[in-house]
């Protein structure tokens, strides 16, 4: 009799399992089709650093005080600037970031009192050579400005702006991590 009960309960549990998987079968897919779609990074996401522009002049806010260079524990920042005529402060001419050494600690950003640098939300950073990670941030800033995507604004507030346009090339943002799909991905049983 016990054996029969065991068979019955075992068979029932198999059917329950099959019912659950069939239920999942008809629910929408939750995976992100990465090269075609990508998640929007959270506001606190730490990509490599990038220069912040001044909304009035459209140029980088950086005054080349070199505090970031000194604060960097891995010695991966080196920057140069010139004092242009008529300006009170220096302007940055070259800002080299050696991303191979950067540990994304954020000391440079903490120490910057002009709010001239911040973390980007760029994560499409695969490369085939080491040289690809020696990033020239001034060139990057200018390229972004040409595309109309430059990070212009008051960094004290904008730096925490979750809607900042920082995406890798060829990707299209179709969902945010806080969206319905992400929630479903975290709780597949719901």
The site for other proteins (CB under 8 A) is made up of 7, 14, 17-18, 20-22, 24-31, 33, 184, 188
* Alpha-carbon separation of residue 70 from 66, 104, 126, 148, 168 (angstroms): 6, 15, 28, 32, 30
Rounded to whole angstroms, the maximal C-alpha distance in the chain is 98
Shortest Å distance, C-beta 29 to other proteins: 5
Residue number with CB closer to other proteins (19 or 163): 19
Residue number with CB closer to other proteins (20 or 104): 20
Shortest Å distance, C-beta 9 to other proteins: 14
Residue number with CB closer to other proteins (86 or 188): 188
Shortest Å distance, C-beta 24 to other proteins: 6
Residue number with CB closer to other proteins (21 or 129): 21
Shortest Å distance, C-beta 12 to other proteins: 13
Residue of 126, 90, 110, 124 lying closest to 159 (CA atoms): 110
Residue of 68, 128, 111, 109 lying closest to 80 (CA atoms): 68
Residue of 106, 174, 101, 97 lying closest to 135 (CA atoms): 97
Bridge partners of residue 49, in order along the sequence: 119
């Amino acid at each position: 009799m016990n054996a029969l009960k065991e068979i019955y309960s075992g068979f029932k549990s198999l059917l329950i399992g099959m019912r659950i998987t069939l239920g999942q079968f008809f629910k929408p897919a939750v995976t992100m089709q990465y090269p075609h779609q990508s998640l929007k990074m959270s506001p606190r996401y730490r990509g490599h650093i990038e220069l912040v522009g001044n909304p009035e002049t459209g140029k980088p806010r950086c005054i080349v005080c070199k505090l970031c260079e000194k604060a960097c524990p891995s010695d991966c920042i080196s920057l140069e600037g010139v004092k242009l005529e008529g300006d009170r402060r220096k302007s940055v001419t070259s800002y080299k970031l050696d991303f191979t050494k950067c540990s994304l600690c954020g000391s440079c950003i903490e120490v910057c009192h002009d709010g001239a640098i911040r973390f980007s939300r760029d994560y499409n950073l695969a490369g085939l050579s080491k040289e690809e990670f020696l990033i020239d941030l001034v060139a990057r800033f200018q390229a972004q400005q040409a595309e109309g995507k430059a990070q212009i604004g008051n960094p004290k507030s904008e730096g925490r702006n979750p809607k900042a346009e920082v995406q890798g090339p060829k990707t299209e943002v179709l969902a945010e991590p806080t969206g319905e799909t992400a929630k479903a991905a975290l709780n597949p049983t719901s």
